[in-house]
């Protein structure tokens, strides 16, 4: 299912965001794998994922990719719940060792509106920061 409203984007981190993310620790909650939108895959990544799945590249492209919303590249498809096709509630990312750079880069090099409300790592970090602020007040 293609949901075009999500905008994958690179943002320049503000100084505040840099500070916030300095101690960011992913909690592996999987929220970023369940959001709608493009998971861009470069040609190199397509080949790596196909190899990991022991699939012929053409079969992989046909079965697991679609055009991105801007029609400039390829994205992994969603499953029936609107999650990334490779996300599993039990296992997390099923292609973790070869996941696309877009996934590796979140939230350090790109974010989407409201991410901090859903990302468990951000929520934990905010609580810790809050305690620190109260301590020094
Ligand atoms: S490829 Fe893996 S890390 Fe990336 S969105 Fe899909 S399940 Fe998540
Ligand atoms: S939403 Fe945040 S904490 Fe959850 S898996 Fe993604 S980066 Fe990690």
Least confident window among 50-54, 60-64, 131-135: 131-135
Can you give the pTM of this predicted structure? Answer: 0.81
- pLDDT for 124 equals 74
Pocket lining: 21 vs ligand 2, CB cutoff 6 Å: no
Pocket mutation for ligand 2, best pick of 20, 28, 35 (most atoms within 8 Å of C-beta): 28
Phi then psi for residue 27, to 5 deg, are -95, 5
DSSP 3-state assignment of 14? coil
Q: pLDDT confidence of 116, banded at 50, 70, 90?
A: confident
Indicate the domain borders of the chain. 15-136
Q: What is the pLDDT of residues 91-114, one digit of tens each?
A: 999 999 999 999 999 888 888 877
Q: Do residues 77 and 85 lie in contact, with contact meaning Cβ atoms separated by under 8 Å?
A: yes
Find out whether 116 and 123 touch, Cβ atoms under 8 Å.
yes
Per-residue pLDDT at 129:
52
């Amino acid at each position: 299912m293609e949901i075009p409203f999500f905008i994958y984007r690179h943002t320049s981190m503000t100084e505040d965001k840099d500070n916030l993310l300095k101690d960011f620790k992913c909690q592996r909650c999987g929220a970023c794998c369940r959001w709608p939108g493009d998971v861009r895959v470069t040609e190199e990544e397509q080949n790596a994922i196909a190899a990991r799945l022991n699939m012929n590249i053409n079969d992989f492209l046909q079965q697991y990719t679609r055009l991105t919303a801007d029609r400039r590249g390829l994205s992994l498809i969603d499953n029936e719940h609107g999650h990334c096709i490779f996300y599993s509630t039990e296992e997390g990312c099923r292609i973790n060792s070869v996941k696309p750079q877009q996934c590796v880069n979140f939230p350090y090099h790109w974010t989407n509106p409201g991410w901090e409300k859903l990302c468990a790592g951000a929520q934990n970090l905010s609580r810790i920061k809050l305690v620190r602020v109260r301590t020094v007040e």
